[in-house]
Amino acid sequence: MRRAAEILNFVFLKLIIDELIMRTNIILATFAVLLSLQANAQSLEKMQWFNEPENYSIRNGVLEMQVPAQTDFWRIAHYGFTVDDGPFLYAVYGGEFEAKIKVSGEYETRFDQAGMMIRLDHENYVKFGIEFVDGKFNISAVVTHHTSDWSVIRLEEPIPHLWLKAVRRLDAIELFYSFDDREYTMMRTLWMQDNCPLQVGPVAACPDGQGFKARFSDFKVRHLPDQRRVEWLKNNQ
């Protein structure tokens, strides 16, 4: 009887140890995945503000803000005025890259907008994302080289969120949008001076209204090899 009890205790103890080992491995694997995600995503907390809004929060890689009223980015064309006072959270990147972000907002008033900006300086930038015009959701882009232009793709139905992607190659930036982060559609290609650092990050504006809530998440910037260098290496091995 005593021998049988010892065997049962041993088996029971082994089951407990095996369970603890399994749980520990699961915890370690989960921790490794979280570290990998953190390494692949930019830290919004470490980025810089241009026109920092009064009310915002950054938690777990999500930026939520109350977009200030009477703010925008635009230069000269059509309206005759220049404004450069919307909230823009950015990091600086040189070379070629791919940038992505997910945006959503509680749009209320004409021209309420939220998206991504890529900016060289006050005369050279692009902003693109969702813009609310005449009660409709639009995927819009404003490209500015001294003067601004505006292009839109009208959506027939409201959408809960939108993924945006920008790819910088040489002296061009390609703009894409997606409803599911799987299938992306190109909306525009624009010129941007190459071989110079650019500011990249979430942007919003409320030109006509009293402000609205915007939300940004999943902001990532991935380095791309310089195409000229890749070609040089290919020819000089």
Is the domain of 5 the same as that of 51?
Answer: no
Q: Which residue has the higher pLDDT, 131 or 29?
A: 131
* CA-based nearest residue to 103, from 164, 152, 44: 164
Is the domain of 59 the same as that of 145?
Answer: yes
Q: Is residue 75 one of the residues assigned to a domain?
A: yes
Residue 21 has pLDDT above 70, yes or no: no
Give all strands of the β-sheet with 136-145 in edge-to-edge order: 48-50, 88-93, 198-205, 112-121, 124-133, 136-145, 147-154
Q: Is residue 156 one of the residues assigned to a domain?
A: yes
pLDDT for 4 equals 53
Helices (H), the chain: 2-40, 227-235
Both tokens of 186, joined, read 């190109």
Q: What confidence category does residue 42 fall into, taking pLDDT thresholds of 50, 70 and 90?
A: confident
Give the burial class of 226: count Cβ atoms within 10 A of its Cβ; 0-12 exposed, 13-18 middle, 19 or more buried: middle
Q: What average pLDDT does the segment 97-125 reach?
A: 97
Q: Is residue 135 one of the residues assigned to a domain?
A: yes
Q: What average pLDDT does the segment 59-66 reach?
A: 97
Q: Is residue 237 one of the residues assigned to a domain?
A: no
Domain of residue 15 covers: 1-40
Is the domain of 132 the same as that of 30?
Answer: no
Residue 211 has pLDDT above 50, yes or no: yes
Name the least confident of 34-38, 151-155, 165-169.
Answer: 34-38
pLDDT for 13 equals 56
Hunting for tokens 């009064």 — which residue is that?
54
Q: Which residue has the higher pLDDT, 22 or 237?
A: 237
Instruction: Write the CATH number for 206.
Output: 2.60.120.200
Q: What average pLDDT does the segment 36-41 reach?
A: 44
Question: Does residue 225 sit in helix, strand or coil?
Answer: coil
Is the domain of 143 the same as that of 202?
Answer: yes
Both tokens of 156, joined, read 């027939």
Q: Is residue 110 one of the residues assigned to a domain?
A: yes
Q: What average pLDDT does the segment 133-159 reach?
A: 96
Over residues 101-113, the pLDDT tens digits come to: 999 999 999 999 9
Q: Is residue 132 one of the residues assigned to a domain?
A: yes
Q: How many CB atoms lie within 10 A of CB 57?
A: 9
Is the domain of 217 the same as that of 123?
Answer: yes
Supply the pTM of this predicted model: 0.82
Is the domain of 52 the same as that of 9?
Answer: no
Is the domain of 112 the same as that of 214?
Answer: yes
Question: Does residue 206 sit in helix, strand or coil?
Answer: strand
Is the domain of 118 the same as that of 87?
Answer: yes
* CA-based nearest residue to 141, from 169, 170, 109, 164: 164
Question: Does residue 46 sit in helix, strand or coil?
Answer: helix
Residues 6 or more apart whose Cβ sits within 8 Å of residue 204: 65, 67, 86, 87, 105, 113, 114, 115, 214
- Count the domains in the chain: 2
Is the domain of 162 the same as that of 195?
Answer: yes
Q: What average pLDDT does the segment 133-148 reach?
A: 97
Is the domain of 20 the same as that of 101?
Answer: no
Is the domain of 102 the same as that of 198?
Answer: yes
Is the domain of 29 the same as that of 64?
Answer: no
